[in-house]
């Protein structure tokens, strides 16, 4: 594998000195880019795109060809794992993901296999290998998975939900059944992320999109404890290099100390948490990733620069910050606004790193 030409993303995660604050965007390969829409259209549908390593590589690299981003993130979906468990994933136009066979009973949980990442999700590992080869050391590649709790919400509800009615009924009425499912998912996700690391992912992120809908006690028991189990089971070094792990719980700002105590390398922040507050609370233990409201990108480039400056100032001097949005980039953002965002981070962060290299 080629040596990294730009390693500031990995350095910042490890809190090592950097020249400027590194930046990438959640969902940076996606539907705000016209070239992505063209590739997806030629693939036929979303899952066909995910399952074609050459096309998955093409869309992973599209944002890097436009913007000087400091990391690539594998193009895939968090629901590949439940799909490989045989739940029949499909996408309704305008409705988002659905499962033909949702999990509703203890018998359903017992019948679930734990997928073999190479046999059942080999197309993801093939994509990782192709992307690493095509990147040729330009920037590091991030692998990812959904958290067990977040995956379980889709599997039990049968798709997206606003009220989490079915899974929360199970959580309070049949906690042992839900724990059994989450245990299987933790095993599956650990194996899946380790396979991504062995295929070439240089950092991994766990997306806990729906952890923030839980009460504090339920978050600890049904989400965080399983993410900690995964962190404990991950490969710590590959090719002589540490493999950083980012945990991101949307709306999880009240639990930062507990998240940092899992042993992760970095904590992802959404825009509801002030980054200076997060740094004061956990910045000596972990790196921080975040945390601009994605809707800022609808504003003028001038206003985007102002918001970037505010967040950089709030974080302050030194390394340990990976700039990102507080959630995925929206599909209606103009690509040139995303470009203005990336340039502003690099340009305006320089003074915060002088004297630290």
CA-CA distances (angstroms) from residue 45 to 80, 81, 262, 351?
14, 18, 37, 45
Residues taking part in catalysis: 27, 31, 40, 77, 154
Distance CA 271, CA 124 (A): 30
Distance CA 197, CA 191 (A): 10
CA atoms within 13 A on the CB side of 96: 10
Name the E strands within the chain.
72-73, 89-92, 96-99, 141-146, 203-208, 237-238, 241-242, 245-249, 266-268, 287-292, 321-325
Is 30 assigned a ligand-binding role in the annotation?
Answer: yes
Is 31 assigned a ligand-binding role in the annotation?
Answer: yes
Instruction: Indicate the pairing of strand 241-242 with strand 237-238.
Output: antiparallel
Distance CA 235, CA 240 (A): 11
The SS3 assignment for 326 reads: coil
In total, the chain counts a number of residues equal to: 357
Is 154 assigned a ligand-binding role in the annotation?
Answer: yes
The answer to whether 87 touches 103, Cβ cutoff 8 Å, is yes
Is 27 assigned a ligand-binding role in the annotation?
Answer: yes
Is 104 assigned a ligand-binding role in the annotation?
Answer: no
Is 77 assigned a ligand-binding role in the annotation?
Answer: yes
The answer to whether 275 touches 311, Cβ cutoff 8 Å, is yes
Pick from 313, 331, 289: which is nearest to 30 by CA?
331
Is 94 assigned a ligand-binding role in the annotation?
Answer: no
* Bridge partners, residue 23, by sequence: 323
CA Rg value for the chain = 19
Is 209 assigned a ligand-binding role in the annotation?
Answer: yes
The SS3 assignment for 209 reads: coil
The SS3 assignment for 142 reads: strand
The answer to whether 46 touches 52, Cβ cutoff 8 Å, is no
Q: Which two tokens stand for residue 276?
A: 């200076």
**Binding-site residue positions for substrate:** 27-31, 77, 154, 209, 327
Annotated binding site: 27-31, 77, 154, 209, 327
């Amino acid at each position: 594998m080629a040596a990294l030409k730009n390693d500031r993303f990995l350095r910042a995660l490890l809190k090592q000195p950097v020249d400027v604050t590194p930046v990438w965007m959640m969902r940076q390969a996606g539907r705000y880019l016209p070239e992505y829409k063209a590739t997806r259209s030629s693939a036929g549908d979303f899952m066909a795109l995910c399952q074609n390593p050459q096309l998955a590589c093409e869309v992973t690299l599209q944002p890097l060809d436009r913007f000087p981003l400091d990391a690539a993130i594998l193009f895939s979906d968090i629901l590949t794992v439940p799909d490989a468990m045989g739940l029949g994933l499909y996408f309704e136009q305008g409705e988002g993901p659905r499962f033909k066979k949702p999990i509703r009973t203890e018998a359903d949980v017992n019948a679930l296999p734990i997928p073999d990442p190479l046999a059942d999700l080999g197309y993801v590992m093939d994509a990782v290998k192709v992307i690493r080869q095509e990147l040729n050391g330009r920037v590091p590649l991030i692998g990812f998975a959904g958290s067990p709790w977040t995956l379980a919400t889709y599997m039990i509800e049968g798709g997206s939900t606003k009220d989490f009615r079915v899974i929360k009924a199970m959580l309070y009425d049949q906690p042992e059944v839900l724990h059994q499912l989450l245990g299987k998912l933790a095993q599956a996700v650990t194996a899946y992320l380790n396979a991504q690391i062995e295929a070439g992912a240089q950092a991994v992120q766990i997306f806990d999109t729906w952890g923030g809908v839980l009460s504090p006690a339920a978050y600890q028991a049904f989400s965080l404890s399983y993410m900690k189990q995964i962190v404990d089971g991950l490969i710590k070094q590959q090719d002589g290099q540490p493999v950083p792990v980012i945990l991101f719980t949307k709306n999880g700002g009240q639990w930062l100390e507990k998240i940092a105590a899992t042993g992760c390398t970095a904590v992802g922040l959404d825009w509801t948490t002030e980054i200076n507050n997060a740094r004061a609370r956990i910045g000596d233990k972990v790196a921080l990733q975040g945390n601009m409201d994605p809707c800022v990108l609808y504003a003028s480039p001038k206003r985007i620069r102002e918001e970037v400056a505010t967040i950089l100032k709030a974080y302050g001097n030194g390394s340990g910050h990976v700039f990102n949005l507080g959630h995925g980039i929206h599909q209606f953002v103009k690509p040139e606004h995303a470009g203005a965002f990336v340039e502003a981070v690099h340009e305006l962060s320089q003074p915060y790193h002088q004297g630290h290299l």
